[in-house]
Amino acid sequence: MEEHAGEPMSMGTALVRTAFLVDAVYADSVREFDLTMAQAQLLCVLIARPFGMFELAKTLNLAKSSISGLVDRSEKNGLVRREADPADGRAFRVALTEKGAQLAEQFHDETVKRVAELPLGLSAAEQEVLAGLLSRVVVDNHVPVVFTDSGCPSANQTCAEG
């Protein structure tokens, strides 16, 4: 049953429908940039710094075999490279190539812009309240950092809330 305009929704319904809305915008960006959802998330996570495979799998919530395949495919496309891990000579980290960094920043900036347009029907004060409340929900639920507020995060941040 469809809610009528102006009628309040329950919290669960509002959040689920918002997730669908954001997912649709994210999916449009992914298609436009000729990426998969997983590739886009990988690129955004790597904007901040190189990651080890275990750390990537944990951040992206992927199995070891899935992250290996994702990195392999992204490496073949020239988006990432493997580099030695200075802390462990037996391990490697995954880093963006120049091509991958450029694509990651373009994708991130365009996607953030599109998602930020969703609540334009709200006043500036309402948008500020919404951002504050959603930030608390994200922090309280320990959501991994995938998108940041900036395409150029500091060394201790990663990129992605998509």
User: Among 4-8, 11-15, 33-37, 120-124, which stretch is predicted with the lowest mean pLDDT?
Assistant: 4-8
Going 151 to 157 to 158 to 162, the CA torsion angle's sign is negative
Position 124 scores a pLDDT of 96
- pLDDT tens sequence across 56-95: 999 999 998 899 999 999 999 999 999 998 888 888 999 9
Pick the CATH number of 12-140 from 3.40.190.10, 1.25.40.10, 1.10.150.120, 1.10.10.10: 1.10.10.10
Residue 18: pLDDT over 70: yes
Using the predicted structure, report yes or no on whether residue 40 has a pLDDT greater than 50: yes
pLDDT band for position 148 (cuts 50, 70, 90):
low
Cα separation, 78 vs 98, in Å, equals: 9
Residues in Cβ contact with 84 at an 8 Å cutoff, skipping those fewer than 6 apart: 92, 93
Mean pLDDT of 126-132: 95
Nearest to 52 by CA among 77, 88, 78: 88
Q: CA distances (Å), 161 to each of 3, 65, 97, 108, in order?
A: 27, 24, 22, 10
pLDDT band at 7 (very low <50, low <70, confident <90, very high): confident
Place 109 in a pLDDT band, splitting at 50, 70 and 90: very high
Looking at residues 25-29, what average pLDDT do you find?
96
The residue count for the chain = 162
Q: Are 158 and 43 in contact (CB under 8 A)?
A: no
The DSSP symbol for 85 reads: E
Q: Round to the nearest angstrom and report the end-to-end CA distance of the chain.
A: 28
Per-domain boundaries in the chain: 12-140
Q: What is the mean pLDDT of residues 26-41?
A: 95
The encoded tokens of residue 44 equal 């955004």
CA separation, residue 63 to residues 26, 59, 67 (Å)? 23, 11, 6
pLDDT exceeds cutoff 50 at 156: no
Interatomic CA distance for residues 10 and 17, integer angstroms:
11
pLDDT of residue 45: 94
Taking 50 as the threshold, does the pLDDT of residue 157 lie above it?
A: no
